[in-house]
Amino acid sequence: MLFAGILYAWSILKTPFATELGYEASALALNFTLTMCFFCLGGFVSSRLVRLMGTRLTIILAAFLAGLGFVLTSFLGEGSPILLYLTYAFLAGSGIGIAYIVIISTVNAWFPDRRGLSSGALMMGFGASTLILGNLADRLFASSLGWRSTYVIIGIAIAAAVMLSSFVIKAPDQDTVLPTKKKSNKESKEDFEVRDYTPSEMVRRFTFWRAFVALVCLTAVGSSVISFARDLALSVGAKATLATTLVGVLAVCNGLGRIITGAVFDAMGRRFTMTSASILTIFAAAVTLIAVGIESLPLCIAGLCLTGLSYGTSPTISSAFTSAFYGQKHFATNLSISNFNLMFASFIATACSSLQVASGGYTAPFILLLSLAGVALVLNISIRRP
């Protein structure tokens, strides 16, 4: 998951395409949106591939597609960015999307008593990639290797790491005795029949769509801020080195938010976790909005840290909520459908970037993001039965 998460380091990986190949900012923003689309589509077909090929061969296929996508990206030249969309967005995005769903659904099956924590730990690896591998890639770009060789190295590393995991990760056998979840006195009880919902049954439930829209709103706040975090810090007086460091700090908080959310979900239940995530996101957007208004660097740093924590709640909630409400039997397909919230959130992030350019500041985008966080809170409070 750490190696697969390099896909999210696009703010770093896109640098040579702008500086050396002359691709426009709008084309690079579109590439990330397309990457999220193919990431979601790859996840959607992954459960079908597992039924046809088995877990190991599906993960190997994902490793091949992701690695090939990065290697082919190293051969890009000046001109149209269409090939970038094919190599990075389609091949790498689809491959990592397939691996993401297969790994999460298979590993979570071993921990029915700690699905939230299991999801959070996996998601933390995915989220930490920007800080660890993203910064490493940035250093390699500036070294004698250059960006082309760096992309080849990244592609080979992703393929090797994901392919090796295919020999370790396997679903539990039918006769495997798994631990059962112990009810906590602190956990909020929800009165509904626990059963396995098929994907078609899940999407016909109004509760699913309330949770889905809430996740879109929560994810949009984090993904929007991540897309312009460095420039945001610079706008309130941060030095260039500090602004770059803050992008890494945001990534660290993102990773921490994922594993903390998983632990809270297991201990306190779905309702408390989702409501708290919405309140945290509102607080994060409000603090950052005030920081922008009064040009306060300390408040901006606090806002970015809070945003990272709040952004980390969304993927863990998506996984744990889908499992808790709709069962484990069709979990892989159901989670892949739930993960389409990333695609819609990426469009909102693109819209926020356009709004920032049009308005010449960050006030308007953060008013929009604060409003979305408020919508998420209302929707999360209203969720009851599957």
Question: Residue 372: enclosing H or E segment and its boundaries?
Answer: helix 363-382
The yes-or-no verdict on residue 171 having pLDDT over 80 is yes
What's the rounded mean pLDDT across residues 142-171?
Answer: 92
**pLDDT confidence of residue 270:** 84
**pLDDT confidence of residue 48:** 86
Contact 12, 135 (CB under 8 A): yes
The yes-or-no verdict on residue 346 having pLDDT over 70 is yes
Contact 65, 94 (CB under 8 A): yes
In the CATH scheme, what architecture does the domain 196-386 have? Up-down Bundle (1.20)
**pLDDT confidence of residue 68:** 96
Nearest-angstrom CA–CA distance, 147 and 149: 6
Comma-separated ranges of CATH 1.20.1250.20 domains in the chain = 1-170, 196-386
The yes-or-no verdict on residue 26 having pLDDT over 90 is no
Nearest-angstrom CA–CA distance, 274 and 258: 13
What's the rounded mean pLDDT across residues 197-215?
Answer: 93
Instruction: Out of 5-9, 160-164, 216-220, 276-280, pick the least confident.
Output: 5-9
Q: Which amino acid is at 11?
A: S
Contact 132, 6 (CB under 8 A): no
Nearest-angstrom CA–CA distance, 231 and 95: 31
**pLDDT confidence of residue 192:** 64
**pLDDT confidence of residue 189:** 58
C-alpha torsion sign, points 272, 275, 281, 284: negative
The yes-or-no verdict on residue 190 having pLDDT over 70 is no
Contact 376, 280 (CB under 8 A): no
Q: Radius of gyration (Cα) for the chain, nearest Å?
A: 20
Task: Give the tens place of pLDDT for each residue, 39-82.
Answer: 989 988 988 898 898 899 999 999 999 999 999 999 988 888 89
Contact 297, 237 (CB under 8 A): yes
Regarding the domain delimited by 1-170, which CATH topology (the fold level of the hierarchy) does it fall under? Growth Hormone; Chain: A; (1.20.1250)
Q: Give the model's confidence band at 195: pLDDT under 50 very low, under 70 low, under 90 confident, else very high.
A: confident
- Candidates 254, 384, 385; CA nearest to 315 is 254
**pLDDT confidence of residue 320:** 84
**pLDDT confidence of residue 185:** 53
Helices (H), the chain: 10-13, 15-19, 25-53, 55-73, 82-84, 93-108, 115-129, 135-142, 146-165, 199-203, 206-227, 229-235, 240-268, 270-294, 297-326, 331-338, 341-359, 363-382
Instruction: Out of 239-248, 274-283, 301-310, 339-348, pick the least confident.
Output: 239-248
